[in-house]
Amino acid sequence: MWARFTPAEMARRWGLARRLMDRHDVRALLLFGNSGVNRHNQANVFWLSNHLDLHHSYLLAPRDEAIEPALYIGLDNHVPDARRIAQIPVVAWGGHDPAATVAERLRTTGITRGRLGVVGVNATFGIGMPYQHHAALRRALPDLELVDLTAELADLRAVKSEEEIRWLRRAAEYTDRAVDALRAEVMPGIPEYALLGIVEGAYRSDGGLPHIAFVRSMPMAEPNGCLPAQNPSGRLLAEGDVIITEISASYWGYSGQIHRPVFVRAEPTAAWQLLFDAALDAYREIVRVMRPGAHEADVVRAASVIGERGYAIYDDLVHGYGVDIHPPVIDRSCCRFWPWDETRPAPVGRRFERNMAVVVQPNPVTPDERMGLQLGALTVVTDAGAQTLHRVPFEPVITA
């Protein structure tokens, strides 16, 4: 009735988690998640429990397999639903003082001394469990050392299993439907915020969940922004507009991501076509070099065409993905290495591995930041390069 991974897949994940506990000599992991970014801040809890909470949650994952894991839900009235969906034996309300609830569970299971691994929301952005909860837990169990393992847990999720890739393909299909709907349904006279109804309406009735629908519209002849907007306005669309987009639809936590410029009943002008061509050339070079064993520096070099044509970028060039944003991340600081110069190469950076899920999203912008577009897709790293999971062609989207 609800999407679930196979027992073998969940056993694989718990095996990885317990080996992580062994390496760091922690007796358990305490994982925290909240509802941010359409529940993607639940990524770590979700990976081991299959539960996507709409508020906040804690998962206590013991190293000793004889001790049952426990999932604590943020709101009492969400517990019945969580018990039906989560693949965890103990599911209960965390109460108004979740730290006290967790501390009592730790006492009950005999985990009061030694080391406890703490996993927050996202190591890339330094988002951990709330400091009040952390402080209360330390006061309640002073002999238990709290060790931050947020980044280490994210590393376990970076390389996707074949089951995960199948879920990502389904999410990519939902996301592609949103682009199809924009092509067919966008028309002059509708407000910009109506685009969200078109995007989400394309997949919600088939079980897709919303994650990202960032859009910005403007006349092609009068550009006024280089990135999609997180909060669409009431501006009315007109023929000859361009809409720059970033769209992600989810299949029970796993998300696709696509970026295409949409042109309202008009071909792109010469200036917009030049931007698009720079993005497409960069995308092709990036996916060509993004093979197992390649490093971040190889990707920065491959995208140098953006700088060579007089553009910079604003958003990340690439980032790990699937459930949330995680390494490898190459942000806009890579612009300082363009045009590429062998005498001052970019730092080698992280190594790409087979079956990493990575969003490749070159986003050339003009120096005045008044004009830009994104062209990208969720990909999977293979021996032949990064392969897109999306079927939408890499071409301008022109509405009917």
Nearest to 212 by CA among 224, 226, 228, 225: 228
Sign of the Cα torsion 47, 50, 55, 60 reads negative
User: What would the pLDDT profile of 336-352 be if each residue is shown by its tens digit?
Assistant: 999 999 999 999 999 99
Q: Which tokens sit at 231?
A: 């909060």
Sign, Cα dihedral of 260, 263, 267, 271? negative
Beta-carbon contacts of residue 125 (< 8 Å; ≥ 6 apart): none
Beta bridge partners of 162: none
What pLDDT does 301 receive?
98
For 146, half-sphere exposure in the C-beta direction (CA atoms, 13 angstrom radius) is 21
Using one digit for the tens of pLDDT, what is the confidence trace for 172-187? Answer: 999 999 999 999 999 9
> Is the pLDDT assigned to residue 2 strictly greater than 90?
no
Please choose, from the candidates 88, 106, 86, 109, the residue with its C-alpha nearest in 3D space to the C-alpha of residue 98: 106
For residue 115, what pLDDT is reported? 98
237-291, pLDDT tens digit by residue?
A: 999 999 999 999 999 999 999 999 999 999 999 999 999 999 999 999 999 999 9
Quote the percentage of the chain above a pLDDT of 70: 100
278 Cβ contact partners less than 8 Å away, ≥ 6 residues apart: 305, 306, 309, 311, 362, 364
Going by pLDDT thresholds of 50, 70 and 90, the confidence category of residue 1 is low
Residue 168's DSSP bridge partners are: none
Give the pLDDT confidence of 80-121 residue by residue, as tens digits.
999 999 999 999 999 999 999 999 999 999 999 999 999 999
What mean pLDDT value characterizes the chain?
A: 97
pLDDT score of 195 more than 80: yes
Q: pLDDT tens-digit profile of 316-375?
A: 999 999 899 999 999 999 999 999 999 999 999 999 999 999 999 999 999 999 999 999
In this structure, the strands spanning 385-388 and 376-382 are antiparallel
pLDDT bin (cut points 50, 70, 90) of residue 124 is confident
- Amino acid identity of residue 104, one-letter, is E
Asked whether residue 293 carries a pLDDT value surpassing 80, the answer given is yes
Q: Which domains does the chain have, with CATH numbers?
A: 7-157 (3.40.350.10), 162-398 (3.90.230.10)
| Token output for 71 | 């999932």
- φ/ψ region of 197 (left if φ > 0, alpha if ψ in -120 to 50, else beta) reads alpha
**Rounded Cα gap, residues 374 and 276, in angstroms:** 8
pLDDT, one tens digit per residue, over 64-84 is 999 999 999 999 999 999 999
Residue with tokens 């006024």: 224
- Name, in order, each residue with C-beta under 8 angstroms of 161's C-beta and a sequence gap of 6 or more: 9, 12, 355
